[in-house]
Structure 1
Amino acid sequence: MAAGNGITGILFDKDGTLLDYAKSWVPVNYELARIAARGDERLARVLLQAGGMDPDTGHVAPDSLLAAGNTVEIATGMVEAGAPFTVEELTTLFDGLFAQSADYAVPVTDLGAFFAALHAKGYRLGVASSDNERSIRETAKRFGFENYLHYVAGYDSGYGVKPQPGMVLGFCAATGLAPAQVAVVGDNNHDMHMGRNAGVGMTIAVLTGTGSRQSLAEASDHCLADITELEAVL
């Protein structure tokens, strides 16, 4: 089916969109910094701050490295801030950590039921994340929505990285849809700009991640509390 606005495909971000960012990723960020600092507590605080996270409160700044960066970008930023690794070494360590983190992720809603309902209405569905593809698939499997996905893209899937349009265009190629038939749903401006760069029909921001209504207002067509409000705008 097509919504009244012609939207027939929905491409979701993962972290902060399908998963509650603070509950799922703030603990991972602390572990990430500990790994990157080789256990040096002072350096770990420096690395968290370089990534955009307050080491005392756990608040992550909108569109910061930890909010929107892919694994290579985060590893690069950490090395530049003093992590005693090469970017390649740290990328490998982070990818392993992120894949395991699916076991501790906290969903925004019952994702199996959420995707089943959208699938039953005929929408083509995908996930495009700055995380690695393995982590996305582990998350989809854990929360029971892998069978409803027509497309999965991580930073390492060959479609480019956000905010480039490649992940959206890959979704279009996989589903046969035109960009104007696609809605991109995400929690930060990398998602919104990716959608705009690809010429999608709608960009939808949610507030379960690191973005705020103020930070997301310019690049989004709609700003929702969370994905459970999605059908109201479709």
Structure 2
Amino acid sequence: MTKAATISGILFDKDGTLLDYARSWVPVNYELARVAALGDEDLARKLLVAGGMDPDTGHVMPDSLLAAGNTVEIAEGFVAAGAPFTVEALTIHFDGLFANSAQLAVAVTDLADFFATMHARGYWLGVASSDNEASIRATAKRFGFENYLHYVAGYDSGFGIKPEAGMVLGFCAATGLEPHQVAVVGDNNHDMHMGRNAGAGLTVAVLTGTGSRESLADASDYCLNDITELVPLFPEAAAARPAA
């Protein structure tokens, strides 16, 4: 029996996993820096570099602040690099920008169809993101998969932050699953380490975000091109799961 055959629930990251990171978030990163720099172009470039992004090419380093940080962490990093705001004020600005950006995001596949397929197979499904919960729900509504989710957790939902285990354990509490029955799917090592820290049965990396096969190899059981490759990887019927 493969590890995938023991899984009853799948917990997905959002950005870089459900959404194409480069097409969805590189433009947002430029806007974050512009807002945080109050329009000062030189400072905006400095902030992007501090966040792990090349301001000329748009390339974001794996596991950098902009690749894996939550809103507060990004605000802290930008303030430390010279943004003329308090962390609290910049966090509010960023949370609003992230929520609005859900309408501009680019999905990696037809998410409504993908989630419908996995739901029909009997899997419990959730999203755990370093973005805020409102942004996750806005994304799920826009792409038509909100009715297939059993659990949603953002950095502000009270389950802690990545790579801590709390979001996975919250998923287990919401579904009645044990960690070994859960697969965690994400695009960076914060996701993989969250899964490992929680004792998840499977960690699956995807290459639609900022990670590479090399950067993700140590902490993932599988490294896939994108989430569509989960369909043949997982059985057509989920492992037996407890009643809701």
Say yes or no: TM over 0.5: yes
- Category of TM-score, reference length = shorter chain: over 0.9
Mapping 1:34-113, distance limit 5 Å: 34-113=34-113
Find the aligned partners of 1:72 and 1:4 in 2 and give their Cα distance. Answer: 34
What is the TM-score normalised by the length of structure 2?
Answer: 0.94
Map of 2:23 onto structure 1: 23
Residue 117 (1) aligns with residue 117 (2):
yes
- Once the two structures are overlaid, the 10-residue window that deviates more, 209-218 or 224-233, is 224-233
Aligned to 1:5, the other structure's residue is in SS state helix
Find the aligned partners of 2:232 and 2:71 in 1 and give their Cα distance. Answer: 34
Find the aligned partners of 1:190 and 1:230 in 2 and give their Cα distance. Answer: 20
Mapping 1:3-22, distance limit 5 Å: 5-22=5-22
The aligned amino acid for 1:187 is D
Aligned to 2:34, the other structure's residue is in SS state helix
**Unpaired stretches in structure 2, ≥5 consecutive residues:** 235-244
The aligned amino acid for 1:233 is L
Mapping 1:76-225, distance limit 5 Å: 76-225=76-225
Identity fraction in percent: 80
Using the TM superposition, give the Cα deviation of residue 29 of structure 1 relative to its aligned residue in structure 2, in angstroms. Answer: 0.2
Aligned to 1:113, the other structure's residue is in SS state helix
What is the TM-score normalised by the length of structure 1?
Answer: 0.98
Map of 2:229 onto structure 1: 229
CA contact (8 A) 2:4 2:233 kept: no
Find the aligned partners of 1:24 and 1:231 in 2 and give their Cα distance. Answer: 24
The aligned amino acid for 2:221 is D
Using the TM superposition, give the Cα deviation of residue 233 of structure 1 relative to its aligned residue in structure 2, in angstroms. Answer: 2.4
Find the aligned partners of 2:88 and 2:193 in 1 and give their Cα distance. Answer: 27
The aligned amino acid for 1:56 is D
Show structure 1 runs of 4+ deviating over 3 A: none
The aligned amino acid for 2:75 is A
Using the TM superposition, give the Cα deviation of residue 4 of structure 1 relative to its aligned residue in structure 2, in angstroms. Answer: 5.8
The aligned amino acid for 2:125 is L
**Unpaired stretches in structure 1, ≥5 consecutive residues:** none
Find the aligned partners of 1:208 and 1:118 in 2 and give their Cα distance. Answer: 19
Paired residue total: 233
Find the aligned partners of 1:5 and 1:81 in 2 and give their Cα distance. Answer: 47
Using the TM superposition, give the Cα deviation of residue 6 of structure 1 relative to its aligned residue in structure 2, in angstroms. Answer: 1.0
Distance 1:210 1:56, change over 3 A: same
CA RMSD in angstroms, aligned pairs only: 1.1
Q: Deviations over 1:81-100 (max 9, x none)?
A: 00000000000000000000
